[in-house]
Amino acid sequence: MSPTPENSAPDVSVVVPVFDEEGAAPGLAREIAAAFAGRNFEIVFVDDRSRDGTRAALEALKPEIPQLRVLSHTANAGQSRAIRTGVMAARAPVVVTLDGDGQNDPADGPALVDMLVAGGPALALVGGERVKRQDSQAKKLASRIGNGVRKRLLKDTANDTGCGLKAFRREAFLRLPYFDHIHRYLPALMLREGYEVAFRPVNHRHRQTGQSKYTNLGRLWASLSDLLGVMWLQSRARNPGGVVE
């Protein structure tokens, strides 16, 4: 597996936010490298001020995975900020994101990238939709309700915005207004900017180590204010349709 040359930008940047994932992160990094072998890629892990040995475990992998970069926040700022940090640091025009807990399958990433590229410049995002979710019944029920309400109110055509596995164009992402939890509203915000979005079924796996950083109740309260905010953004959008010179 050859590293990306220093003077050559990669074609794909895989961005992974992590917080207290010492057990999952090293294996996940190896899986990503194997999934994208043969492509010109980089892997950008963003450690959101973990309290365990996540950063050290990843740093130790650099000799084994030369495409690996490890960025670290000096203060915990949340998943959305970690994703944004990684996207801003990414050197490729196409970005793949996935959760750091190992439940997203990196093997699905290349197919999302291929679908995005084949869709042309108007297609800005391909989101994964988890099939046979390996979560508790309570979590799946809460997600089903939340996705249904969000889809009805925002008309974003997405069945599963909670899936961390997505491929998108870096330039399009950086055009979006940033706020905490933005990663759950990328389809709606991409559509607001006049882009197209698409979705593809992806695998979902059991969490093998660590524990979830979210609770159903905590996510509910955040979702209510986020939904109102995104609805307001949609109401204030005006699309020029195109720009000519």
* pLDDT tens digits for range 31-84: 999 999 999 999 999 999 999 999 999 999 999 999 999 999 999 999 999 999
pLDDT of res. 242: 83
Instruction: Assign 83 to helix, strand or coil.
Output: helix
Element (H, E) at 127: strand 123-130
Query: Cβ distance 158 to 197 under 8 Å?
Result: yes
**Amino acid of residue 219:** R
Q: Stretch 135-149: mean pLDDT, rounded? A: 72
Distance between the two ends of the chain, CA-based, in angstroms?
45
pLDDT value of residue 1: 41
CB 182 within 8 A of CB 190: no
Per the CB < 8 A criterion, the answer to whether 101 and 23 are in contact is no
Residues in the chain: 245
- pLDDT number for residue 6: 54
Q: Report helix, strand or coil for 212.
A: coil
Tens of pLDDT, residue by residue over 34-45, are 999 999 999 999
Question: What is the band of 93 on the pLDDT scale with cuts at 50, 70, 90?
Answer: very high
The three-state secondary structure class of 59 is helix
The pTM score is 0.89
Domains of the chain: 12-235 (3.90.550.10)
Tokens of 182: 């933005």
